[in-house]
Chains A and B, each alone.
Chain A
């Protein structure tokens, strides 16, 4: 009897210790990756990193100014495509199509698309936009990023709208507001902070994406002349540079990795904090 008791306690202790170790492992890996990225990345960051064009291997200096500009522009364009679409689709799910078959299908597809392989999105956009026009372009890159953002925007919009109380809708309608008037001037305002964070999370998700850009925006060593041509971007440059045999390109790649990681993590942390308070407040 006592023996069994002892065995139970030992097993319990053992599992507790293992479980604590796994948590320590998680934190350790985060620290390890961040430390490597920061230590190696900071060495590459200077003024020229933000303002200059890449140089051929072996030449002094050089930066990724064009890539930073390209990534920013494509991400913003993607957001401009995905936000209106996603917002309206989210409104449909939260307001009109609660449990009808169509809404259930849209929800299911959105949830699947969130984790769909981004490289296949790249292939798809290549086929519809690059193959048909005959050239790679920043627009194609922005469209593939928008496709990846869309499901995130749809689902967070729906969640945030369903947190706004029913009484608020009824009050607005009772005061004579039309349905779209009620939506845009009352409900979306009430859910504003939640919606903004949803969009930011979607932006953070695509800002570090590489696979969908490989066949759409491609890359470019020059400053952009508009979006209708191959477009420099941080992630594909990082990929090419890291796979190259040159040490100075590796250094630039670590700099790019630092920039991407820091911006994505900062956006994620800030939005999680705001999202936490938004969920509580509404």
Chain B
């Protein structure tokens, strides 16, 4: 409803109050746009020493040497992408399974409790995930799981090296745990929007539940599901605390998922307050800028995708 649709009397004071109110709310809505512009501008200005010193080499150099002041983003960028890939590979099948369960399999009385449990899992602060990963998951991995992986799959380069318990693989697993409830809840909402008559028509033709999901619900909700996956991806890329605890914080480029590494966010968390020297700080800020731009592209395209054309289900 715009104010044009409302007929109102011509009392001057009230009209003035209306206009002021309208402009005030407009100005405050504009703060988020200004904030966003300020984000980009200030990060670029403060990262400029590094941008001008290293130019386009920055994202592709694996050097990170505060003493000789040579910096490159390759190690944390690769670490971020690798841990996120591991997380998504684990999280996607499990989230879809949970969404399928909640939308189609679960008896009615169980939907509420299981749904709430998944939402609680999403509400646990990331630092608690990280701490739990460090003290509970990492010892389990280094004591039992990783030795087994190394013994049986160690000939594959990505599974070589000593069982440290912390590293890219652990970070990916903890990240997966964090994005599962997020993607599962969104996908469940998409599944639930499938019109009843479509599903019942399929059941009436003798389709099994799996076939209804595969041939009716997934095609119908394709758009929402892809959007949900990208939103989860955006979250995982920028996650800091859960990763910082368990990724190992080593400036180390390795083929092995068991080796400790670093992500952009964990590197910022560990080094930003301790960085001395203009170039060191500027390089860290440029890392932050890279992370911001990557997540902006992923989240932004997910949102635009969800809004575009028919089937744009979210407001």
Contact = CB atoms under 8 A, between A and B. Distances in A.
Physical interaction between A and B:
yes
B32 A269 contact: no
Given A109-B32, A242-B245, A127 B238 contact: no
B265 A116 contact: no
Secondary structure type dominating chain B contacts: helix
Nearest to A180: B21
B76 to A, nearest CB: 12
B296 A116 contact: yes
Contact of B240 (A30, A84, A109, A117): A117
Contacts of A19: 97-98, 100-101, 105
A226 interface: no
Contacts of A109: 32-33, 36
A127 B31 contact: no
B210 A12 contact: yes
Contacts of B268: 119-120, 122-123
A244 to B, nearest CB: 12
A123 B43 contact: yes
Interface stretch (A43-51, A58-66, A85-93, A188-196): A85-93
Contact of B132 (A20, A26, A37, A112): A37
B28 A23 contact: no
A118 B31 contact: no
A57 to B, nearest CB: 17
A15 to B, nearest CB: 4
Contacts of A250: 135
A22 interface: yes
B67 interface: no
Nearest to B36: A109
Nearest to A214: B269
Contacts of B180: 26
A274 to B, nearest CB: 14
A113 B40 CA distance: 13
B216 interface: no
A98 B31 CA distance: 17
Most chain A beta-carbon contacts within 10 A, residue among B94, B134, B307: B94
B128 A208 contact: yes
Contact of B273 (A97, A110, A214): A214
Interface stretch (B117-125, B145-153, B155-163, B251-259): B117-125
Contact of B114 (A27, A204, A210, A260): A27
Contacts of A232: none
Nearest to B37: A109
B201 interface: no
Interface string A161-201: 00000100110010010111101000000000000000000
Contacts of B98: 19, 22-23, 26
Interface residues of B, number: 95
Contacts of B295: 115-117
Given A23-B102, A92-B29, A105-B33, A115 B18 contact: no
A115 B233 CA distance: 10
B74 interface: no
A104 to B, nearest CB: 8
Given A85-B31, A96-B3, A120-B288, A112 B26 contact: no
A9 B211 CA distance: 10
A253 interface: yes
Nearest to B14: A178
A274 B290 CA distance: 40
Interface in B186-228: 208-211, 213
14 contacts: A8-B211, A11-B210, A16-B105, A30-B120, A88-B24, A96-B22, A119-B291, A178-B18, A209-B125, A210-B241, A214-B273, A215-B273, A250-B135, A269-B120
9 residue pairs, one from A and one from B, having the closest CB atoms = A208-B125, A117-B238, A22-B97, A12-B208, A92-B25, A178-B14, A88-B28, A92-B29, A211-B240
Interface of A: 8-9, 11-12, 15-16, 18-23, 25-27, 29-30, 32-33, 36-37, 84-85, 88-89, 91-93, 95-98, 102-103, 105-113, 115-120, 122-124, 126-128, 147, 150-151, 154, 159, 166, 169-170, 173, 176, 178-181, 183, 204, 207-211, 214-215, 218, 235, 238-239, 242-243, 250, 253-254, 257, 260-261, 264-265, 268-269, 272
